Amino acid sequence: MASEDVKSGESAVTKIVTLAEEAKLASREGVVTAAAAPSYAFTTICKSLIAGGVAGGVSRTAVAPLERLKILLQVQNPHNIKYNGTVQGLKYIWRTEGFRGLFKGNGTNCARIVPNSAVKFFSYEQASKGILYMYRQQTGNEDAQLTPVLRLGAGACAGIIAMSATYPMDMVRGRITVQTEKSPYQYRGMFHALSTVLREEGPRALYKGWLPSVIGVIPYVGLNFAVYESLKDWLIKSKPFGLAQDSELSVTTRLACGAVAGTFGQTVAYPLDVIRRRMQMVGWNHAASVVAGDGRGKVLLEYTGMIDAFRKTVRYEGFGALYKGLVPNSVKVVPSIAIAFVTYEVVKDILGVEFRISD
């Protein structure tokens, strides 16, 4: 603090005024240095993380029933079909497990997605700033802006960082989600699942399916951010149909931008998501009966790696198996991504955080 660094009251006041002016100038230029305002920077980071966490929690809870149905469709035994479509699947869960069954695994999902979303949004902002700085240095144009390809790169970096940091929680969340009333309830919750997997399968088991997740997150998260930001910028600059007023978009328009972004990302990356879920089941003692639902027609779930999982899935179930659960996922992902983006921006506005990649 300034009062601790100087001895006289006069010099203290002078230093405080100087710091305030420096912070104001730096803020105007879009660069806040740690020397000028460390507390401001720390507060901004915290607010950005909070906004990202809230966005993730709200968006995933809103579509939790569809998320659970998607995973059940991805891993169910093809010889013992219990979930046959979106509407029938939701009705079956409601009839056999009740209202709580629709949200099974959502607590674990939120425990994962809140830090995941917080890290993802914050990482995207920081990666975008860093990439923009290097791009301007390389081109010598201080007014250069991020291109869609550069935004794709920033989104991919953010997705990999966030996914890797929270992957063990995603892995156990997948196993908890597929447990049904007739399945052996091996896991009582997230912490019990984590400890059980560590004890019975070892620490490496917590990262089963990590490779297809990394590969899939590049087009998924990368396209989400790239399409969303590029579409927003285009609407603000061209102002078609009067959608942009005073360089601002309405919540409805931003929801539409998020929906388009989500559709692009999930369509490209979906087969990798299916393979990831199936690989997460490998090594689980009761996986076969859980996937089968009632223990009949058990199949041995064994994959030596991502390529082997792709090969066996296509060989035994056909190419269409790579898109199992796509319909509920499509219904889910559009509002989920849209709600996440809008919630993030709204919470940032409430907290007083200003951020634009183009600044």
Helices 38-62 and 326-351: crossing angle, nearest 10°?
Answer: 150
Amino acid at 119: V
The HSE-up count of residue 151 (CA atoms within 13 Å, CB side) is 19
The per-residue pLDDT for 353 is 62
| Domain spans of the chain, in order of start | 12-178+186-351
pLDDT at 36 over 70: no
- Give how far Cα 330 sits from Cα of 2, 63, 188, 327, Å: 54, 11, 30, 5
Cα–Cα distance, 77 to 93 (Å, whole number) = 16
The per-residue pLDDT for 25 is 44
Beta bridge pairs of residue 249: 244
Pick from 279, 277, 280, 282: which is nearest to 309 by CA? 279
Q: How would residue 91 be classed by pLDDT, with cut points 50, 70 and 90?
A: very high
pLDDT at 358 over 80: no
Cα–Cα distance, 322 to 75 (Å, whole number) = 11
**Counting runs of H as helices and runs of E as strands, what totals does the chain give?**
13, 2
The per-residue pLDDT for 123 is 87
> Which range among 62-66, 204-208, 346-350 shows the weakest confidence by mean pLDDT?
346-350
pLDDT at 98 over 70: yes
Can you tell me which residue has the tokens 């809008």?
342
pLDDT at 134 over 70: yes
Cβ(53)–Cβ(156) under 8 Å? Answer: no
Between residues 308 and 218, the one the model is more confident about: 308
Fold of 12-178+186-351: Mitochondrial carrier fold (1.50.40)
Q: Give every CB contact of residue 22 below 8 A, 6+ residues apart in sequence.
A: 33, 36, 37
Q: How would residue 183 be classed by pLDDT, with cut points 50, 70 and 90?
A: low
Cβ(169)–Cβ(111) under 8 Å? Answer: yes
The per-residue pLDDT for 88 is 92
Q: What is the arithmetic mean of pLDDT over 136-153? A: 85
Cβ(106)–Cβ(61) under 8 Å? Answer: yes
* Dihedral over Cα of 194, 196, 202, 207: its sign: negative
Give me the chain's average pLDDT, please.
76
Cβ(190)–Cβ(172) under 8 Å? Answer: yes
pLDDT at 12 over 80: no
pLDDT at 8 over 80: no
The per-residue pLDDT for 31 is 41
- Per cent of the chain over pLDDT 90 is 3
Q: How would residue 23 be classed by pLDDT, with cut points 50, 70 and 90?
A: very low
pLDDT at 314 over 70: yes
Helix, coil or strand: residue 171:
helix
The per-residue pLDDT for 26 is 42
Amino acid at 307: I
- Burial of residue 29 (CB within 10 Å: 0-12, 13-18, 19+) is exposed
pLDDT at 18 over 70: no
| C-alpha R_g of the chain | 23
Helix, coil or strand: residue 140:
coil
Cα–Cα distance, 63 to 118 (Å, whole number) = 19
Can you tell me which residue has the tokens 């991805």?
74
| Cα angle 135, 141, 147; round to 5 | 45
Q: Which two tokens mark 188? A: 């009582």
Summarised one tens digit per residue, pLDDT across range 192-226 is: 889 988 998 899 989 988 988 888 877 777 777 78
Q: How would residue 180 be classed by pLDDT, with cut points 50, 70 and 90?
A: low
The stretches of 33-104 forming alpha helices (DSSP H) are 38-62, 64-75, 86-102
Helix, coil or strand: residue 178:
coil
Cα 112 off chain centre by? 9
Summarised one tens digit per residue, pLDDT across range 241-293 is: 666 666 677 777 877 887 788 777 777 888 988 888 888 877 666 555 445 43
pLDDT at 158 over 80: yes
